[in-house]
Amino acid sequence: MPIYNLNVNNQAVSVDAPANMALLWVLRDKLGITGPKYGCGLDVCKACTCLVNGKAVSTCAVKISEVANKKVTTIEGLANGSTLHPVQQAWLDRDVPQCGFCQPGQIMAAVDLLSRTRTPTDADIDAIENMCRCGTYGRIREAIRAAAAMMP
């Protein structure tokens, strides 16, 4: 199998994997990074959301061959040492999660949004397609606004 080099959470990694292996399975099964979750495998639920070169993507729908030499960030790579990312802190402060399954993806989608604007409108937040079976959307909205206020 081919070897792919990429940067995951600020560490250079080499992965021996089939070219069509989904990034989600590379992360979870080959690298043991289990923050990104498998929900649908169809680019619908977004539970698998991570950042590739800073942009939110569904990792179930991205092949390892498409991310060679790119920078991948999972929720495990958001904190700066013991200091949480403002989005993570806002999520804790607002007690957002219920079952928690969708939340790593929700947080990564929020990080992507706030990298594009610090003043997201309701429409910007509603454009996040990540699904939550527990219906935490109201608290997600509050937490995104709180995180924006905390960010420089």
Q: Name the residues that contact ligand FES, by CB under 6 A.
A: 38-41, 43-48, 58, 60, 97-103, 132-134, 136
CB-nearer residue toward ligand FES: 28 or 85: 28
Q: How far is the CB of 6 from ligand FES (least distance, A)?
A: 19
11-16 and 55-58 beta bridge pairing:
unpaired
CB-nearer residue toward ligand FES: 92 or 118: 92
Residue 66 to residue 85: CA distance in whole angstroms: 27
**Dihedral angle over CA of 82, 88, 94, 95, nearest 10:** -80
Which of 23, 41, 42 is CA-nearest to residue 33?
Answer: 23
Q: How far is the CB of 68 from ligand FES (least distance, A)?
A: 20
Chain-centroid distance, C-alpha 26: 15
CB-nearer residue toward ligand FES: 60 or 128: 60
Q: How far is the CB of 22 from ligand FES (least distance, A)?
A: 8
Contact 2, 64 (CB under 8 A): no
Q: How far is the CB of 32 from ligand FES (least distance, A)?
A: 18
